[in-house]
């Protein structure tokens, strides 16, 4: 096909330049960067004190002084939403790290060990995947009380199992390919195979999953803080603000716009970044040029014949002829 004819130049592109060629990916990355900067800035400075209440300035409409208006106790909504970026970023990073650790640990245990450990880990992953993150959080919160630590632990465990499931089957798949067999036959040891062939092949899947884990951690934090089992009252959180505003929804419906929009855009950004990273990092999904529509086959069938699923991995708009 034409992709092989052009193989010279396009193959050289790194995943980063590939990412920059995707508008959705760039927009998502910019939003996340903005979030990161807001998180750092808001640790030192916010336009007004986000917790400063003033009954005389309740329910102010948006103005230059209060960009997003004020809430029922006179707090400046912009400052609060701005300050809450810090909570979001901390939760996303820590939950992402924990999910990676759990995911890598379980998938290594489930693919590279003795048969019985491997198989029982696989069964354990299949069982643990049925535990929704929110329920894990409720389980922990019923004893430890609600906190951001509980949210991070729950997402880390819950999504870590997800990562393990996807990367385990990926490691298994790659370890049975001909080139790994050839490498083994030519004398490369298991460690060499892992470093040279398995990890580079699993990395794209892993990075994508990490992005989705962060999206899921933001939704979980918002949901649990809304329920009162996430951020404490002294921590600014978008979910908590939604809960505070809920009572007045029929009178001041516009007030819930800002925290909700912030959550939605951030989750959207991590989802889009995940999609863009998947396309950018996987040479098989790259179209060889904007005009070349027939170069790539679109997404593979979701369920392989062996019944293994790559669930979250397949909900995408990947490799679509442009």
Residues 260-279 that bind another protein (CB under 8 A): 260, 263-265, 267-268, 271-272
Tell me, by CB under 8 A, how many residues bind another protein.
60
Is 59 within 8 Å of 252 (Cβ atoms)?
A: yes
Distance CA 249, CA 24 (A): 33
In angstroms, the CA 158 to CA 152 distance is: 10
* Position among 40, 249, 284, 289 found at the interface with another protein (CB under 8 A): 249
According to the binding rule CB under 8 A, does residue 57 interact with another protein? no
Q: Find the binder of another protein among 259, 278, 280, 295 (CB under 8 A).
A: 259
Q: Phi and psi at residue 253, in whole multiples of 5°? A: -60, -25
Query: Does 2 participate in binding another protein (rule CB under 8 A)?
Result: no
Which one-letter DSSP state was computed for residue 67?
T
70: helix, strand or coil:
strand
DSSP assigned state of 177: S
Tell whether residue 161 is a contact of another protein (CB under 8 A). no
Q: Closest Cα partner for 87 from 222, 219, 236?
A: 236
Instruction: Give the binding range for another protein (CB under 8 A) out of 35-43, 81-89, 170-178, 226-234.
Output: 226-234
Q: Is 37 in the site for another protein (CB under 8 A)?
A: no
| Residue of 171, 242, 276, 280 interacting with another protein (CB under 8 A) | 242
SS3 content of the chain, % helix, strand, coil (to 5): 70, 0, 30
Q: In this complex, which beta carbon is closest to another protein, that of residue 7 or of residue 123?
A: 123
d(CA 89, CA 226): 17
Token pair of 178 as six digits: 């001909």
Shortest reach from residue 280's CB to another protein, in Å: 17
- The phi and psi torsions of 70 (rounded to 5 degrees) equal -125, 165
Which listed range, 15-23, 42-50, 167-175, 314-322, lies at the site for another protein (CB under 8 A)?
Answer: 314-322
Residues near another protein (CB under 8 A) are: 123-124, 126-127, 129-135, 138-144, 215, 219, 222-223, 226-229, 239, 242, 246, 249-250, 253, 256, 259-260, 263-265, 267-268, 271-272, 297-303, 305, 307, 309, 311, 314-318, 320-321
């Amino acid at each position: 096909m034409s992709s092989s004819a052009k193989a010279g130049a396009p193959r050289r592109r790194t995943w980063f330049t590939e990412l920059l060629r995707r508008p959705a990916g760039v927009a998502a990355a910019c939003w996340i960067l903005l979030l990161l900067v807001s998180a750092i800035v808001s640790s030192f400075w916010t336009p007004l004190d986000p917790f400063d209440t003033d009954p005389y300035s309740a329910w102010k409409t948006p103005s230059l002084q209060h960009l997003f208006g004020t809430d029922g106790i006179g707090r400046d909504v912009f400052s609060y939403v701005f300050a809450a970026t810090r909570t979001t970023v901390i939760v996303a990073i820590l939950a992402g790290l924990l999910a990676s650790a759990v995911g890598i640990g379980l998938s290594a245990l489930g693919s590279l060990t003795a048969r019985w450990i491997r198989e029982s880990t696989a069964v354990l992953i299949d069982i643990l995947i049925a535990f929704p993150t929110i329920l894990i959080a409720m389980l922990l919160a019923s004893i430890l009380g609600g906190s951001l630590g509980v949210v991070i632990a729950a997402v880390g465990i819950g999504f870590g199992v997800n990562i393990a499931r996807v990367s385990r089957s990926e490691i298994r798949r790659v370890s049975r390919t001909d080139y790994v067999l050839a490498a083994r036959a030519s004398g490369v040891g298991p460690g060499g195979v892992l470093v040279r062939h398995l990890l580079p092949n699993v990395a794209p899947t892993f990075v994508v999953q990490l992005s989705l884990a962060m999206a899921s951690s933001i939704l979980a934090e918002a949901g649990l803080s809304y329920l009162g089992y996430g951020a404490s009252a002294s921590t600014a959180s978008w979910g908590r603000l939604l809960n505070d505003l809920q009572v007045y929804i029929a009178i001041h419906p516009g007030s819930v716009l800002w925290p909700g929009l912030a959550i939605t855009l951030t989750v959207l950004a991590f989802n889009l970044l995940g999609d863009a990273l998947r396309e950018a990092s996987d040479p098989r999904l790259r179209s060889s040029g904007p005009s070349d529509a027939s170069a790539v086959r679109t997404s593979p069938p979701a369920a392989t014949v062996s019944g293994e699923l790559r669930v979250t991995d397949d909900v995408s708009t990947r490799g679509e002829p442009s």
